[in-house]
Amino acid sequence: MTLNHHEKMPLFKRYADNPILTSDMWPYPANTVFNPGATTLPDGTTLLLCRVEDMRSHSHLTVARSKDGITNWQIDPRPTLLPDIENYPEEMWGIEDPRITFVPEMQQYAILYTSYSRSGPGVSMALTKDFRTFERLGVVMSPEDKDAALFPRRIKGEWALIHRPVGSFGAHMWISYTTDLKYWGGHKMMLEARRGAWWDARKIGLCNPPIETPRGWLTIYHGVRETAAGSLYRLGLALFDLESPEICLIRGDEWVFGADEPYERFGDVGNVVFPCGHVIEPDGDTMRIYYGAADHCIALATTRISMLLDWLDEHGRAYIARHPSDEAQGPYRSHDRRL
């Protein structure tokens, strides 16, 4: 189990009978199932929108439902959302890694997912009320871009989207704004990948959608470190301002969750833990995180929002994003201020 290195207490507790979903449980042939979006339906049912990779290595999305969010999953007998290549050619090589946000103003779920085209991965969006019929909005961020989620409410009158474009200076987390969900602007860097020997030195990206707390938007992100044996995917924490979420208030230096168990270390892509979804239990604090493990199965871990915020207070520091080409100035303010 990954530990909070200072208190030696588990920050994330893995479900004892992980993994909770595998391709062997699927009602039709599949190579792997992983990286699910997650939400809670009005009747309390937990819904996962799972990435399913077929034998061509192309992906589509399929719903699995559970009353307790842990066991007795009811999986749609056929793919729930398939690529629509005729109308959306950007989906020609599959659709992947959905993040689900329920938007009260629209009374709909916004699904941000990766659409894989000849030009690479881009960000596409669909809306649904029931996870049976979907309104596709098409590409909202062109390739190469991924790891996107919509905020659940307008911020200063505009919708906001976190995403991860890749450019000549690396792969960093950005935020963009819109009034109509179609035309996006106001692009700002939120968080940059560090350099050198850091655990998040090569690239970073959003995991599950941001979580609104009284102190700010709590965000779990993944970082990738290149080693002689390949890439290591681990998770870190950051907190962003509620009304100006491009401003990062605190960023943790240490990673908080990484591949440890055999089902996380060995699979189609080893040493990967990658959550795309979570649900918050009725107490408003306990959180179930659903994650892809080694790109071959789905696992569950639990934590508490209050614990994550406490950890950031103890192990995070104030942060300001700079353009990654500006190596003369580090990413941190001159003082190490605990918030």
Domain ranges of the chain: 13-317
Measured CA to CA, the distance from residue 159 to residue 153 in angstroms comes to 7
Other C-beta atoms within 10 Å of 253: how many?
13
- Give residue-wise pLDDT tens across range 250-271: 999 999 999 999 999 999 999 9
CA distances from 194 to 218, 226, 288, 322, 332 (A): 19, 12, 28, 11, 11
Task: Specify the CATH superfamily of domain 13-317.
Answer: Glycosyl hydrolase domain; family 43 (2.115.10.20)
Closest CA to 224 of 206, 208, 200: 200
Flag whether pLDDT at 6 surpasses 70. Answer: no
165 Cβ partners below 8 Å, 6+ apart? 141, 144, 145, 171, 172, 174
- Give residue-wise pLDDT tens across range 268-285: 999 999 999 999 999 999
Degrees to nearest 5, angle at CA 96 with 297 and 176: 125
- pLDDT-derived band of residue 335, with 50, 70 and 90 as boundaries? very low
**What tokens appear for 152 in the block?**
């659940």
Q: What is the mean pLDDT of residues 5-31?
A: 89
- Give residue-wise pLDDT tens across range 292-317: 999 999 999 999 999 999 999 999 99
- pLDDT-derived band of residue 202, with 50, 70 and 90 as boundaries? confident
Closest CA to 211 of 306, 123, 298, 116: 306
| pLDDT score at 321 | 63
- Give residue-wise pLDDT tens across range 207-247: 999 999 999 999 999 999 988 888 899 999 999 999 999 99
Residue pair 112/98 in contact by the 8 Å Cβ criterion: yes
Measured CA to CA, the distance from residue 290 to residue 271 in angstroms comes to 16
- Give residue-wise pLDDT tens across range 61-94: 999 999 999 999 999 999 999 999 999 999 999 9
